[in-house]
């Protein structure tokens, strides 16, 4: 997969696979001078020391991302829901049959999923894009389909090189379209069944964790499904390990259409200096890969919540991202990320509208 950061001609490794650079050109950081200005502004407000807690931190992060202080309230949030099928779902690793991916996309297109309801409350627009369902959904866009379903990663590659290239480019294109249309914050998510299995493999590969350390209950699987998932992750991880230092090849070997496209969204948004709120293990795995391809991209991302999935906890630790909330939401469709959006609006407003100690006369006693 070529990216804006990759300009070298790919070489061929000892296995005959195309070898890519391990990482591209680092992404520009959010404006640290503006961040310091925002921190100084918070210190002048008519509040006790540390009185705004994490809201102040959100406001300072947002100011650095926007390059201005006080920051503007982000009022043009866009939710990108990518629908795709994973061949590994046939191994019985989910509580749902693979066909539910199509049903979820249809429900999302008719605004019947939790993320759509949360988005309405937050004033965010939702876009549903089929990037690789086995069969078309009843609603949503299908003009960006890469291939109708991916390979079973414990036995074969998820995608071939051209398909993976296309999936990454689709993610970049979707990010560009939303940003060009005025989006000031993005919320990407997946609607796939079985996606936490390749996501767990990717997290294990990049963090060095063992299979049992990354496998959670996902969609609510029972003990028998958990054991099947553990076997699949173990076998896929064996296939993945030779490519740990080659993120783009790793993605096509044991990732999936939605994960690769999400990585493209995340990397492109960071390159274009647009903040992203991430939620769910599928997006977490894509974030790990995007950070490998575009070092520094993580500074443009906000982790919505702590996760019950051990692989997501490992991913956030690896990315040094601290979750904003702990809602216990397990839908993996971006609902928790959308729930954070009003907090960003509030944080921006607090920095812009709260009076200073000098202006209000609300000054603490000295000494």
Measured distance CA(204)–CA(146) in Å, rounded: 26
The answer on pLDDT for 16 being more than 60 is no
Contact 312, 281 (CB under 8 A): yes
- pLDDT, average across residues 208-220: 85
Quick: pLDDT tens for 70-112.
Answer: 999 999 999 999 999 999 988 888 878 888 888 888 898 888 9
- Maximum alpha-carbon separation in the chain: 71
- pLDDT, average across residues 49-74: 96
CA 196 distance to own-chain centroid: 13
- pLDDT, average across residues 32-59: 94
pLDDT confidence tier of residue 299, bands split at 50, 70 and 90 = very high
Give the right CATH number for 74-340 from 2.60.120.20, 3.40.50.300, 3.40.50.10210, 2.120.10.80. 3.40.50.10210
Measured distance CA(10)–CA(310) in Å, rounded: 34
Give the residue among 228, 255, 230 at the shortest CA–CA distance from 84: 255
The answer on pLDDT for 18 being more than 60 is no
Give the residue among 99, 275, 117, 246 at the shortest CA–CA distance from 184: 275
Contact 240, 202 (CB under 8 A): yes
For the chain, the structural domain boundaries read: 74-340
The answer on pLDDT for 11 being more than 70 is no
Q: Please, what is the average pLDDT of the chain?
A: 89
Quick: pLDDT tens for 229-281.
Answer: 889 999 999 999 999 999 889 999 999 999 999 999 999 999 999 999 999 99
Can you give the pTM of this predicted structure? Answer: 0.90
To the nearest whole percent, how much of the chain has pLDDT over 70?
Answer: 92
Highest mean pLDDT among 135-139, 153-157, 331-335: 153-157
> Coil, helix or strand for 291?
helix
Quick: pLDDT tens for 182-197.
Answer: 999 999 999 998 899 9
């Amino acid at each position: 997969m070529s990216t804006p950061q990759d300009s070298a001609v790919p070489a061929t490794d000892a296995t005959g696979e195309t070898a890519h650079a391990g990482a591209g050109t680092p992404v520009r950081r959010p404006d640290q001078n503006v961040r310091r200005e925002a921190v100084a502004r918070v210190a002048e407000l008519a509040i006790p020391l540390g009185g705004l807690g994490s809201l102040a931190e959100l406001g300072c992060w947002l100011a650095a991302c926007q390059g201005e202080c006080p920051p503007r309230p982000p009022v043009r949030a866009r939710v990108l829901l990518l629908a795709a099928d994973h061949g590994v779902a046939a191994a019985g690793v989910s509580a749902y049959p693979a066909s539910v991916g199509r049903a979820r996309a249809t429900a999302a297109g008719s605004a019947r999923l939790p993320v759509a309801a949360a988005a309405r409350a937050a004033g965010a627009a939702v876009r549903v894009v089929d990037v690789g369902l086995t069969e078309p959904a009843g609603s949503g866009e299908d003009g960006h389909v890469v291939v109708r379903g991916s390979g079973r990663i414990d036995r074969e590659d998820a995608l071939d090189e051209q398909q993976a290239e296309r999936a990454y480019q689709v993610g970049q294109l979707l990010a560009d379209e939303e940003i060009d249309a005025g989006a000031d914050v993005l919320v990407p998510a997946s609607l796939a069944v079985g996606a936490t299995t390749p996501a767990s493999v990717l997290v294990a590969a990049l963090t060095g964790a063992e299979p049992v350390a990354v496998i959670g209950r996902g969609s609510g699987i029972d003990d028998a499904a958990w054991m099947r998932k553990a076997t699949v992750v173990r076998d896929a991880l064996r296939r993945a390990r030779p490519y740990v230092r080659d993120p783009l090849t790793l993605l096509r070997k044991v990732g999936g259409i939605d994960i690769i496209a999400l990585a493209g969204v995340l990397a492109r948004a960071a390159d274009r200096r647009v903040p992203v709120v991430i939620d769910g293990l599928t997006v977490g795995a894509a974030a790990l890969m995007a950070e490998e391809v575009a070092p520094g991209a993580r500074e443009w991302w906000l982790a919505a919540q702590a996760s019950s999935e051990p692989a997501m906890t490992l991913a956030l630790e690896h990315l040094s991202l601290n979750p904003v909330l702990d809602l216990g939401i397990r839908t993996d469709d971006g609902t928790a990320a959308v729930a954070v959006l009003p907090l960003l609006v509030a944080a921006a407003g607090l920095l812009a509208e709260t009076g200073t100690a000098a202006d209000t006369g609300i000054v603490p006693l000295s000494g």
